[in-house]
Amino acid sequence: MAGDASQIVIAKGTKVTTFQMTNDRPSDELLLKHMLGPTGNLRAPTIIKGKKLLVGFNEEVYAETI
């Protein structure tokens, strides 16, 4: 999923981190550090909209994406 996205937005409560995958792709380790929750599973919800990947929930980002 991450390889096909041009932008990845990861939400952890009120903290939102955005990665631009076309300009400055982060390492896989850094992406996993942000994308995985405390149980080791992918944060929920995970939504793909076009070339944007949204991982985790933040009400503002979710409303903007959907």
Dist. CA 43–CA 21, nearest whole Å: 19
Unique residue bearing structure tokens 């942000």: 34
* Domain span including residue 30: 1-38
Evaluate whether residue 59 is within a structural domain: no
Per-residue pLDDT for 3 more than 90? no
pLDDT tens by residue, 15-39: 999 999 988 899 999 999 999 998 9
Rounded to two decimals, what is the model's pTM?
Answer: 0.89
For residue 7, give the amino acid letter.
Q
E strands within 1-66?
A: 7-12, 15-20, 46-49, 52-55
Structural domain count, the chain: 1
Whether 61 is covered by a domain: the verdict is: no
Dist. CA 59–CA 31, nearest whole Å: 21
Q: Are 7 and 53 in contact (CB under 8 A)?
A: yes
Question: How far, in Å, CA of 25 to CA of 8, rounded?
Answer: 10
